[in-house]
Amino acid sequence: MRLLVSVRSAAEVGAAVAGGADIVDAKEPTTGSLGAVSGGVLQEIALGLPAGVPLSIALGEPKNIVALEVAMRLLHGLSPRPSHAYVKIGLSAAGDGAERVLAALVDLASRTPLRPSVVAVAYADYVAAGAPAPETVARMAAVTGARGVLLDTWDKDGGDLFHHIAEPALRAWTGQARAAGLLVALAGSLSIEGVRAVAELPADIVGVRGAACVGGRAGVVSEGRVGELKAALARGVAASA
């Protein structure tokens, strides 16, 4: 299982990678669960990313195809290109057009020089988010040709992933998504203990922000905290073997 660490600036990239992050995620935590960084900040993060480390990019919650095209402008001219890239899209604002927006992103991504893998984001607290249910998002991802699905929390003050979904249900959803051929990532206000628990599930990636920072989600990524999360992840994987 790989560890994804969200950074909000190039200054945090070094600590994330030195601590053991397998994937660096560009996200602005003060503007929502999938807040996008500016184009300039994204360029700086890409410049600070070591060769071979994949880059994940949050695109926010586009409500229609026009909004999606605006969000995708972040990728234009991105240089240097990372070894691999993912783009994450939330569907809470798209309403009945969620599947169309996701399909449009898959098409746009396939035609950009970066050719990022598309990850559809589902929310454990989907009712509060006004988003499709997790099983619906997984189905949409499989139907539209997205590479993967992320199950996260929308309200970062409303409890972690396990607060919203019990472990047996989470295990079942994860297994079903993987059986559909999807890359599966889990996140959602996870503590070190939460990361260890996720490591025992059949997921591919676990994502963190707040637990990797001094000062919480809006704080600063710490190499030491990332290292502790990486160690917890290893312990969880070993326990599930």
pLDDT digits (tens, 9 = 90+) for 123-167: 999 999 999 999 999 999 999 999 999 999 999 988 999 999 999
Least Cα distance to 131 among 105, 103, 155, 106 occurs for 155
pLDDT digits (tens, 9 = 90+) for 20-76: 999 999 999 999 999 999 999 999 999 999 999 999 999 999 999 999 999 999 998
Task: State the average pLDDT over residues 182-203.
Answer: 96
Task: Give the pLDDT confidence score for residue 196 in this predicted structure.
Answer: 95
Length of the chain: 241
| pLDDT higher than 80, residue 241 | no
| pLDDT higher than 90, residue 98 | yes
CA pair distance 170, 176, nearest whole angstrom: 10
Which H or E run includes 100?
helix 98-110
Q: Which residue has the higher pLDDT, 240 or 63?
A: 63
Contacts of 173 (CB under 8 A, 6+ apart): 134, 135, 138, 151, 165
Q: Contact at 8 Å (CB) between 118 and 99?
A: no
CATH number of 2-240: 3.20.20.380
Residues annotated as catalytic (active site), given as ranges: 27, 88
